[in-house]
Structure 1
Amino acid sequence: MEPSDVDAPLSVLLVHVWYWPHIGGGNQHVEHIARQLVARGHKATVWCADIPEHDEKQFVRDGVKVIRLPPKRVLGGIDPVVSIKNLDMNFDIVHLHDTLPVLIRRSLKRARNKKIPVVTTFHNDYIKTSLSGKILKRIRWALQGRRTLQASDARIALTPYYANHLKNRGVSKRIDVLPNGFEPVAEDASRPSSLPADSEDIPLLVFVGRLSEQKGLDVLMDAWDLLCQQGEPKARLAIAGSGELNEWLEQRIASSAYPDSIAKLGRVEDAEKRWLFEQAKGVLIPSRFEGLPTVLLEAMHAGAPAVMADVNDLGRLVTEPNAGLSVSPGDSQDLLKAINRLLEADDAQIKTWSENGHEASKPYLWSNVVDDLLNVYRRVRT
């Protein structure tokens, strides 16, 4: 690449199994990158599996060309088998998001054959508890995951923890650390209509995320039950999101000693999420594992003190800037202590956490993250 080409527009292919309208952190990550690239005058194309099935298989959304690939079958319920042999691959950069899926590995092979530079982002690890699951995970990593990263021209981890994790698992080449980013909600804050009318009169604690064990919903409910054992809570817990534990959550709320202290909101719009963060005395994130949760960054930027489970070293993101509290993952007693500290904190402490969190979130704005990503793209093209 000639020096005069440094700022030339790029044609970038982003590959991820999931994309809009699928809801999830990974596909939102890809969508934000694509939109930022287009805003800078670059071309962005996304390849993804057609899950859930969408009427249009090819369309343009926010300036991003999207190609949805119907799967022949889905391995293990999570890995769609798709064909890319009839797709044009005339790109300057191929950016893979994940290491294991069929779509990722086939895209890598095509790009290598065409000598197109490949960048791969490792988003997070996954947990297997059974012996057979652990063995299969090791085999897939050795035969697929590590090979994908080693064969790429650049490798990206979202946090220093994951960079070290990859090195310890045999990735010997350079790993760049580029965090997950976020965009502040542009819409004016809007109070969720499903929230009880008296919620402004008492402290509000908020959980926003998928209703799942991964996100620690059971840990949260166990901690809230412990709080209820101390007497009627002088706070309301608002739970926003949907997921596989939806019915389970309804049953847990019904069996609570103080069911009126919990508000199940379902999925909320961005404007409603902004309202929750701005009004919350604390945002609770008791996840069992994460890459870098967008909800943490959004909450900090909105000025909400955060309680973050110290999984994969994420606790330091709130403790180092004094923006909230860190708790042990899976520990409902520890989460209860943090909830009590939030509720007992005076206005000065809340103000300190709020202001520090807002400042600490700024480097994670998508505009800053994509500036660094473009430097990686240009480096692998030289």
Structure 2
Amino acid sequence: MRDDVLLRNLTPTVIAVLVRRGADFAAAEDAVQEALIEAMRVWPQDRPRDPQGWLITVAWRKFLDAARAEASRRQREELAGAEPPAELGAAVDDTLRLYFLCAHPSLSPASAVALTLRAVGGLTTRQIAEAYLVPEATMAQRISRAKRTVSGVRFNQPGDLATVLRVLYLVFNEGYSGEVDLAAEAIRLARQVAAMTRDEEAAGLLALMLLHHARRPARTRPDGSLVPLAEQDRGLWDTKLIAEGVGVLQAALARDRLGEFQAQAAVAALHADARTAAETDWVQIVEWYDELVRLTGSPVARLNRAVAVGEADGPRAGLAALAELDPALPRHTAAVAYLHERDGDPVTAARLYAEAARAASNLAERDHLTRQAARLNERLRGAPERRPTQ
């Protein structure tokens, strides 16, 4: 295993060990980061036989060097004696404990996921800033504020479950579409949370992750380009994951306490249930988006609902629904382009695909939209130009 991959995998455990020994979260994270720098300097010439033990030793030494004598020693002794919180139980691993710490209620969801990606996921500040579309300096300040907020939090003060679920959801999405693969780890932790809490929304989140992850092998071509859902080879979908996700979802829905993750999972299940794109039950999908909008009021849910309306009731109905939404919404222009193409207006669709590509933040998405525009422009060069619809 490459050194950088091994170090990223070891980071959560080493931070947790330091915190259990008495370091507060911010100090532990700083000490581990220094130890990682030392490892990248030393390991290429002299890799230790026990990498985790080496990291713990060096990180702990870094922490002690930065500590302030007697007051810091008393604080370490006090924190080292803290028992694991009853809400988490003794069987929960170090990584999940850190998720609960990072998801402390005093943090906003945006700060919580940024802190988690940095401390637990091993992403750099630059990578997180790119994911949030903000300058690196802005993200560095956000992470520093979050670390100061949780610096005195003990492990017997776990974060709010709803925030933990939100953070896991965002981490999964970063792993699902980002340059660092965190999706499988998010699923592993979601399994623990669902089993530990028996919460309907925890189960809904797990089902959603499983159903999306089942489609992953079909989402990209060998050259890395995206494959739209309608064009995916459904024979590549993982039927075992789909069956598990549907089973988890059905058990959660049976408790009759609907939440947003269950509603999203229901949409994913309907896509997974269709043998072909043409057999997709778009009417039911619209109904589930209605529930999701009712639960959250989310503009993104409204956007997805409008696209589903375009599939269920025709592209002009979808365009009418999109016209009621803020054009600045992410993927709004791409959705309008798609429905114009469905409505037989390739001129407008090609122009809007190119516009959407310029605004896309993800390289794979930008490439996909550029290809869509090029495909339509190539077709238009071989046919008489058609005026855009009014």
Q: TM-score range by the shorter chain?
A: under 0.3
Q: Higher Cα Rg: structure 1 or 2?
A: 2
TM-score, normalised to structure 2's length? 0.24
Q: Which one has the bigger helix percentage?
A: 2
